[in-house]
Amino acid sequence: VPVSDRIVIVGASLAGLSAAETLRAEGYPGELVLVGDEPHEPYDRPPLSKAVLAGRTRGAPWLPRTRELGARWLLGRAATGLDLGRRRVRVGDESIGYTGLLVTTGASARGWPAARGGGLAGVHTLRSLDDARALCDALDRGPGRVLVVGAGFTGGEVASSLRERGHEVTVVDRGPGPLAGALGRTLGGFMSERHRAAGVDLRVRTTVETLEGDGRVSAAVLSDGSRVDVGLVVVALGAVRPTGWLRAAGLAADERGLCCDATCRALARDGTPAPGVFTAGDVARSPDPDAPDRWRSLEHWGNAVEQAAVAARNLLRAPADRQPYRPASAFWSDQFGLSIKSVGRTEGTDAELVVQGSPEQARFVVVHGRAGRTVGAVAVDEPRALAGWKYLISGDIPFPPPFTAPGAPRAAA
Partner 1 sequence: MRVLIDMNRCESYGQCVYAAGAVFAFRGRESLEYDRVPPGHTWADVRRAASACPVGAIRLGEAPEDGVCR
Contact positions vs partner 1 (CB under 8 A)? 12, 34, 41, 44, 46-47, 50-51, 56-57, 59, 61-66, 68-71, 73, 75, 301-302, 305, 330, 332, 334, 337-339, 341, 363, 381-384, 386-387
| Cα-based distances in Å from 365 to 75, 99, 151, 205 | 43, 48, 21, 25
- Give whichever of 32 and 277 is closer to partner 1, judged by the CB atom: 32
What distances in angstroms separate CA 178 from CA 30, 36, 141, 335, one per listed residue? Answer: 48, 33, 28, 11
CB of 25 to partner 1, least distance (A): 13
Q: How far is the CB of 98 from partner 1 (least distance, A)?
A: 19
Closer residue to partner 1 (CB): 31 or 382: 382
Taking the least distance from each CB to partner 1, the nearer of 133 and 174 is 133
C-alpha to C-alpha distance for 353 and 351, rounded to whole angstroms = 7
Nearer CB in complex with partner 1: 75/316: 75
Q: Which is nearer to partner 1, 73 or 295 (CB)?
A: 73
Per the CB < 8 A criterion, the answer to whether 283 and 297 are in contact is: yes
Q: Which is nearer to partner 1, 142 or 361 (CB)?
A: 361
Chain-centroid distance, C-alpha 359: 26
In angstroms, give the least distance from the CB of 44 to partner 1: 7
- 348: amino acid identity, one letter: G
* Contact yes or no for 162/124 (Cβ under 8 A): no
Compute the least distance from the CB of residue 331 to partner 1, in Å: 8
Using the minimum distance from each CB to partner 1, give the nearer residue, 149 or 305: 305
CB of residue 375 to partner 1, shortest distance in Å? 18
CB of 383 to partner 1, least distance (A): 5
Q: What does the alpha-carbon distance between residue 259 and residue 280 come to, in Å, rounded to a whole number?
A: 10
Identify whether the C-beta of residue 249 lies closer than 8 Å to the C-beta of residue 81: yes
Give min distance, CB of 356 to partner 1, in A. 14
Three-state secondary structure call for residue 281: helix
DSSP state of 372: T
Minimum gap (Å) between residue 65 Cβ and partner 1: 5
- 201 vs 381, which CB is nearer to partner 1? 381
Residue placing its CB nearer to partner 1 in the complex, 173 or 382: 382
Strands annotated E in 281-326: 284-288, 291-296
Angle at 124 between CA 118 and CA 126, to 5 degrees: 130
Give the shortest CB-20-to-partner 1 separation in angstroms. 10
Closer residue to partner 1 in complex, CB, 338/351: 338
Shortest spacing between CB 163 and partner 1, in angstroms: 14
* Strand 79-83, strand 363-370: pairing: unpaired
Chain-centroid distance of CA 167 in Å reads 25
281-310: b (≥16 Cβ within 10 Å) or e: bbbbbbbeeeeeeebebbbbbebbbbbbbb
DSSP strands (E only) in 163-318: 169-172, 201-203, 208-214, 216-222, 227-229, 232-235, 239-240, 253-254, 257-259, 265-267, 273-279, 284-288, 291-296
